[in-house]
Amino acid sequence: MATEVLVPTLGESITEATLGEWLKQPGDKVAADEPIASLETDKVSVEVPSPVAGIMGQHAVAVGDTVQVGAMLATVEAGDGAPAAESAQQPAVTQAPAAEQPAPAAGGYGNHGATPVDSNAPAALSPSVRRAVLEHGVDPATIKGTGRDGRITKEDVATAASSRPAAAPAPAAAPTPSVAAAGGRKEERVRMTRLRQTIAKRLKDAQNTAAMLTTFNDVDMTAVIEARAKYKDLFEKKHGVRLGFMGFFVKAATMALKDIPSVNASIEGDEIVYHDYADISVAVSSPGGLVVPVIRDAQDLSVAGIEKTIGDFGKRAKEGTLKMDEMKGGTFTISNGGVFGSLMSTPIINPPQSAVLGLHRIEDRPVVRDGQVVVRPMMYLALSYDHRLIDGREAVTFLVALKNAIEDPTRILIDL
C-alpha cells in the first residue's frame, strides 16, 4: 500500500514552491517524519517529512519543477525497507566506478544531479554543493557537514578547500588536460532558485520605486574593541554567547531611530507610517542566498539578548530552518558586509523600509586626534535611504548619532 506525500501548507499567501532537491531516492528506507525533499519558497527552504515509515516510492516531480500546495510529490510504500534498499544499492556499487571516472575528465556532472557523489556519505549532496565539490576539487567524504542532519553545505566545502595544505590543489589541476583535449571552452546554465529570483525582483523593485541615496561616515572602533576585549570572556561565561560588534550597532541604531523617527518609518500609498518600535532586520548568509530575519522589539533587548538572537538566526540560516514568519516585517535593516572584507558599499533598501545601514571591515587608518596623526581602527558606515521620506539632514543626523554611541559606548548604557 502506498501513501502519498503532498506539498504541505507553506505559509500565509504562499501557494507554490520549487522542488530544490530530493533527500531520498526510490528504494531508500524512510522513517516517519524523516525529511525526503526540500522545497524552495520565496523566502526560505522547507523540508517535507515523510508521513509514514516505509520505502521511498517513485518521484512524481523533478528537481526545479514548480509545485502547488497540496500536490503530490512522491509515494512511500509500506515495508521495512531492508530488501528493497539492498537491491537498490547493489547496482550503485557495481556502476559507481564507471559513473565516476568520466566526471573529472568532463569537469561537470551532466544529468547525474540526483545521484549522490559518494554512496557512503551520511546524506545526499544537493546540486549546489555538488558543483562546489567539483569546483574546489575536494573529497566530500573528508568533509564534516554542519547542515541539518549532518548534510554538507557550500560553506563546509569552501572551508575544507581553504584549509587544505599547499600541495593539495594538485588534483584539481588534473581535469585541465582533459578539458583542453575535449577542445574549446565550456559554459554552464543553472536555473535560478526561487529565492534568488525573489531577491532579484525585490531589489530591482526597490531601485525602481524609491528615490534612493546613500550617505557615508566613518567611526572609530577603538572603544568598542577595548570593551569587547575586556569583557568578552565574562560575557560568554554569563550569557552563553560570544560578544560581537553587531550587538553594539543594533542597540545604537535603536537609540538613533528613536531620535530620528523618519528613518524608522515607511511609505504606504500617500501616507507615512511611523513606528514606535524598532524591528531590526539583520542580513545573514544562507546556502541559498541572503536572508533577512527580524529582531522584534530590539529597543527592549539588551546587548546580550541581541547577540543571542543574531547567533540563533545565523545558525538556523545555515541549516535552512528559519521560519517565514521570522523574516516578515522589519522597520530598519543592518547589513554587515565587513565580515566578507567589504571596505565600502551602497546597500539597497529592503522594501517597504525606508533605510538600510551598511557596516564594513575594520582597518587601521591614520587619523588626526588632538592635532596629532595617530593610527586608529576605523570602519566606514553607509546609510542608503528613500529621499522621498528622509531628508539629507535627517540621514546625516542619524549617522552622527550612531557614530557617537559607538565611539563612546557609555552612551548606550545611559541612553544618551
SS3 assignment, position 218: strand
Answer yes or no: is pLDDT of 178 > 50. Answer: no
In 3-state terms the chain splits into helix, strand, coil percentages (rounded to 5) of 40, 25, 35
Domain ranges of the chain: 2-77, 101-182, 195-414
User: Per-residue pLDDT averaged across 82-104, rounded?
Assistant: 40
DSSP state of 60: S
**Nearest Cα residue to 129 out of 104, 160, 105:** 160
Q: Residue 43 has what pLDDT?
A: 62
Alpha helices in 38-168 (DSSP H): 82-100, 102-106, 127-136, 154-162
Give 120: exposed, middle or buried? Use CB within 10 Å, 0-12, 13-18, 19+: exposed
Query: What pLDDT is recorded for position 80?
Result: 64
Q: Of the candidates 379, 365, 378, which has an alpha carbon nearest to the alpha carbon of residue 334?
A: 379
**Nearest one of 126, 122, 161, 162 to 145, comparing CA atoms:** 122
CA 403 to CA 106: how far, in whole Å? 53
Residue in the block written with cell 545526499 = 124
The percentage of the chain sitting over the pLDDT mark of 70, rounded to a whole number, equals 79
Query: Alpha carbon of 180 to those of 13, 76, 131, 401: distances in Å?
Result: 50, 46, 20, 58
287 or 221: which carries more pLDDT confidence? 221
pLDDT in tens, 298-336: 999 999 999 999 989 888 888 878 887 888 889 999 999
187-213 pLDDT per residue, tens = 888 877 777 777 788 888 888 888 999
**CA gap 88, 370 in Å, rounded:** 76
What is d(CA 196, CA 316) in angstroms, rounded to the nearest whole number? Answer: 19
Give the CATH number of domain 195-414; options: 3.40.50.300, 3.30.300.30, 3.30.559.10, 3.30.450.20. Answer: 3.30.559.10
Q: Does pLDDT of 272 surpass 90? A: yes
Fold for domain 2-77? OB fold (Dihydrolipoamide Acetyltransferase, E2P) (2.40.50)
CB 217 within 8 Å of CB 381: yes
What pLDDT score does 182 carry? 55
* Residue range 30-59: mean pLDDT, rounded: 82
Q: Is the pLDDT of residue 11 over 70?
A: no
Helix, strand, or coil (residue 229): helix
- Orientation of helix 127-136 relative to helix 154-162, angle to 10°: 10
User: Grid cell 535552512 — which residue?
Assistant: 320
Q: What are φ and ψ of residue 47, in 5° steps?
A: -90, 140
How confident is the model over 349-396, as pLDDT tens digits?
988 899 999 999 999 999 999 999 999 999 999 999 999 999 999 999
pLDDT for the residue numbered 202 = 80
Mean predicted confidence (pLDDT) in 134-143:
74
Length of the chain: 416
pTM over 0.85: no
The pLDDT value recorded for residue 408 is 92
- Judged against a pLDDT cut of 90, whether residue 165 lies above it is answered with no
Question: Which amino acids are annotated catalytic?
Answer: 387, 391
